[in-house]
Structures are given as structure tokens and as C-alpha cells.
Amino acid sequence: MAEPLWFTDDPAACALLANDPFALLVGFAIDQQVPVQKAFAGPYALRERVGTLDPRRLAALDLEPAFREKPALHRFPGAMARRVRELAAVVAEEYGGDASRLWREAADADDLRRRIGALPGFGPLKVAALGAVLARRLGVGLAEPLAPSFPCLGDVDSPEALLAYQAAKRSRKAAAQAGREPSPSRGDPRALNGR
């Protein structure tokens, strides 16, 4: 059992993220326009609602009812249900349902970047953040070149570290809005929602 990934408030959800590679991918896939704790609690809640996180089974399900059930798993339940179903289909079809094959079978860091970037909803910032988590929290050395130089979820190793990370992120965003740092539209990845 890997050490929990402290990206949410529920210890069971944190343990799931560390020990189920597909749960980790789902957390990143829905980590958009919601607090990080909400996004990364999503995989655990989804498993509770549909009874599985097996990508082959999820790819065949209509996930929207599970995402819409109160409390909704995301503020955009329809879009995120489709995204997770698409993600499940990719993992089922290209990796035989085993999400860890994404990194275990990557030839090198460039191949890993390409593989992660091909997933639904994974742009450059999510590739970097997932790379940091893989390298710094899960011991996937091949992923270290993907990790950004600025603080990200890969640096979070405790509930306290998550709070500190979020406080620093809010400060960076406030500074960007005040004109003291480049804004997201000017390309500063630290100011974007890249986790």
C-alpha cells in the first residue's frame, strides 16, 4: 500500500488515490473549476455510487446520474461524466484497463508526456502536475522531467501541506490579478488551474 495522497479531506479517498492508478487519473481529469479537495474526492464518491472504478465497466456506463446525484460530484456533472467515461474508454482500449501501464510501459519521459497528454482533459499543466505526483509521491523516476519547477500537487505530502499549497496558490492568483505577476492569459502556468 502506497502512502495516501493528501489531496482531499477524506483519508479513505486519499488512500484510494495512492493505490488505484485509475482513481488518480479520474481525480486529475475532473480537477477543473472546483476546489482540489472536491475533485480528488470524486473518484471515491464515484466508486461508492456505481460500485466500481474498473475502466472497462465505467466505459460502458452512463455516468451522468452518478455525477448528478446530490451532492453532485462536480459543478459540471454532465461534462465531467462524459470526460470520465471517455477516459475509462481510453484506458480500457489502449491499456487493457490498467491505468498504471501509462507510466510503467512508457519508453521515456517524452513517451510518458505524449501518453498522458493524449488522455481526455489532460493539457500541458495537468501533464506536469501528474508527472510531479508520479515522480515525487509514487516513485516513478521516469516522470521527473515532466514535473514543473513551481509548487504543485506533487509537493503535497500531508493535509497541512495541501492547505499551505492552496494558500500559496491563492496568493499567486491574487498577485496576478493585481498585476504583480503575469496573468494566466500571458502564459504563467503558476497562475493557472494546473494543480
Taking only the tens place, the pLDDT of each residue in 122-141 is 999 999 999 999 999 999 99
| Chain centroid to CA 122 | 9
Respond yes or no on whether the N-terminal peptide bond of residue 151 is cis (omega within 30° of 0).
no
Closest CA to 55 of 68, 46, 66, 67: 46
pLDDT per residue as tens digits for the range 27-82: 999 999 999 999 999 999 999 999 999 999 999 999 999 999 999 999 999 999 99
Would the pTM count as exceeding 0.85? yes
d(CA 25, CA 87): 8
Q: Where does the pLDDT of residue 186 fall: very low under 50, low under 70, confident under 90, or very high at 90 and above? A: very low
Query: What's CA 91's distance to the chain center, in Å?
Result: 15
